[in-house]
Chain A
Amino acid sequence: MIGKRFLLVAGKGGVGRSTVAVALGVAAARSGLRALVVETAGRADVTPLLGRSAGDPLTEVELLPNLHHVTIDRRGALEEYLRREVPGPIPAAVLGRSSAFQLFVEAAPGMSDLLTIGKVWELGQRPRHTPHAHPYDLVILDAPASGQLVGLLAAPGTFSRIARVGPAARQAAGIERALTDNADVGAVVVATAEQMAVTEALGLQATLSERFGVEVGAVVVNRLLPARFSLEDGLALAAAPDDPAIRSARWFHARAQAQRVEFERLVGQLQAVACITLPLLFEAELGLGHLEHLADLLVGRNHEQPG
């Protein structure tokens, strides 16, 4: 997985995409790769996991040796794009502040998503197009939730088909070619073993591979409970007198069984894609030690092949 140039970490809201993205970043950094975790829409969910605050939008910050983070916001991406791509008599700052221009960015179909995905693409270029910027070996996108990710990936194609001519259309078509049907681009789909998360993961896996030609390297099932209690244990717990500890164990067992059903549905429908499981960590807050543990599981030998 971490052998790609771009890695999209996708999935339903609330399943732990940011945790998986940063754990993959930790794994890559430890193997000597210069890695970058990217968030969009000005969000910074990743940095608190490492006890750090985020930098300003578009400012690349080193969180750990070899592990960097950046968050992309639309306005910053627009100004940077203008500085780079509109040479000539009109200063980028003037254009960026122009209300007519901002209106255009709001209204032109896919333009705003295009700027964001265009910046993601730039972050993976070697050499970088941004002057004095360092290149990365691996760019991990902590992608927005399912529907918005599809919009983001579709933006270059949408824009180039509507605009048809002009530099932006050409660039958009270039980005579309670079991000789709490209062996350098991979994806990890994150799910929990719950009905909606599994359904979305299966849908995303199909959309990413069929519509965008992006290979899904693995589906990560996050927060899985271990099979700690057998069916006989379950019967014994059900028959036992009511007690705080027994209530906890009954809950755990019921949940583990419900997860099993969804997990098996997922594995049964995934066909050729590997499924990696991460355990539910019974911790109030995850810290670096936990992320290192998850990183080991993600790139280690915990791969459960479907069958």
Chain B
Amino acid sequence: MNSLDSALAGKLMVICAGAGGVGKTTVSATVALGLAARGGRVALVTIDPARRLAEALGLDALGNLPQVVDVDRFGGSGVEMQGELAAMMLDAKRTFDELIALLAPTLAMRDEILGNPVYQHISTAVAGSQEYTAIAKLYELEHGADYDVIVLDTPPSRHAIDFLDAPDRLIGFLEGRALAVFLRPTGHAIRAAGVAFAGLRRIAGTGLLDELIALFRQLSELLDGFRQRAADVRELLMDPASAFLIVTSPERAAVDEALFFAAELDRAGMHRAGVIVNRVHPIDPTDLDVAVTAARLAPILGSSLAERTARTHAEVQRLAQRDAAAIARLRSALKSEPVSLAERPADVHDIPGLMALREELFERDDEQGTHRHIAPVGSRDGENPALQQR
């Protein structure tokens, strides 16, 4: 069945990942809306939504916590909102600052770190900080237990996998011998550090080095907190109630990236909920002979329009066949049925548009008879049906 219902049953956390430009933000908004319509308190964390989508969801308001989307916004779109949708736009810098504030043992330490010029660049400019803060926010929201399901849109990374590595990178960074070498050089490490420092001084000068060392010393005070947080995040990502939805377009490069990411998830022991292929041209391989179709349609459309119509159909079907081949490739490589979303004439950035996508992703309530029940929030080790299946 072309449906996400069974794949998402019992999930507490849905992470949408994929190459840039495939429509992750739209898909994650659709999934969150679909789950909320079914009856659940759903939080949607987006990274960089299109302005009109942000407006449609009321994301223009400030704040680094999800805000409930006013139910009036769904009025007239035929949605019966059984649950509640809250949405937020991630502010990477602010999330990073909040984490430091939470983990710093004293206010003075917090201020020292937040004021360090190197920290200010790390928290905004350095590659990976957005991935890390996305995951930190996920953890914070999950821990707060205010929501039944959290749907996360991931940053527009060229490598979706950066996202998975983020907590490990942080642990590795803080626990690694390298940091110890900087902070407490002993024995053999003194010589190694001596070599590295000589090279660094040669290249970077001492000013930057001193600021970096100062920051490392300050961050090392927070090490236990970081270590615990990173371990918790890792556990959260491994949890069977956390699942990744891989989003792709039918284009070769995006499919390559999706397959690579799926393999990395499998290797890491994380859980795939499914693959969504966005922007699929629906296949309808009849009437492909342009001359025959044009002749058949000529009495209705006139010969000129009939010829253009027949030619257009043959062209669009060439793309449809490419898309079908991409879906077949995903199906055979991943041993699961991809869910397709049809290519639309224009970007989706309003509630009715999201509702139309939802019809394709989820089974309709009237066909199903009953509303699928979202798993209640429970302790992470017993009450969750997804856990019990394992």
Contacts and interface: CB of A to CB of B under 8 A. Distances in A.
B125 A158 contact: yes
B325 to A, nearest CB: 7
Interface string A160-198: 001111111100000000000000000000000011100
Contacts of A88: 202
B67 interface: no
Nearest to B126: A109
Interface string B302-316: 100100111011011
Most buried by A among B158, B204, B313: B204
B121 A284 contact: no
A186 B306 CA distance: 45
Given A104-B196, A194-B347, A162 B208 contact: yes
B203 A41 contact: no
Interface string B250-275: 01111000000000000000000000
Given A95-B195, A162-B121, A108 B50 contact: no
Interface in A16-43: 18, 41, 43
Q: How large is the interface on B (under 10, 10 to 19, 20 to 34, 35 or more residues)?
A: 35 or more
Contacts of B9: none
B349 A195 contact: yes
Contacts of A107: 118, 122, 126, 173, 212, 215-216
A248 interface: yes
B253 A45 contact: yes
Interface in A225-250: 228-229, 233, 236-237, 240-241, 243-249
A281 to B, nearest CB: 10
Most buried by A among B173, B182, B347: B347
B199 interface: yes
Interface in B52-94: 52
B159 interface: yes
Contacts of B211: 162
29 contacts: A12-B20, A13-B21, A13-B22, A14-B19, A14-B251, A86-B203, A98-B192, A99-B177, A99-B192, A100-B193, A110-B121, A144-B158, A145-B156, A147-B156, A148-B158, A162-B117, A165-B206, A166-B206, A166-B207, A166-B208, A167-B203, A168-B204, A169-B204, A228-B308, A240-B300, A249-B312, A249-B313, A259-B346, A284-B322
Interface of B: 19-22, 48, 50-52, 117-118, 121-122, 125-127, 156, 158-159, 173, 176-179, 181-182, 192-193, 195-209, 211-212, 215-216, 249, 251-254, 284, 286-287, 293, 297, 300-302, 305, 308-310, 312-313, 315-319, 321-322, 325, 343, 345-347, 349
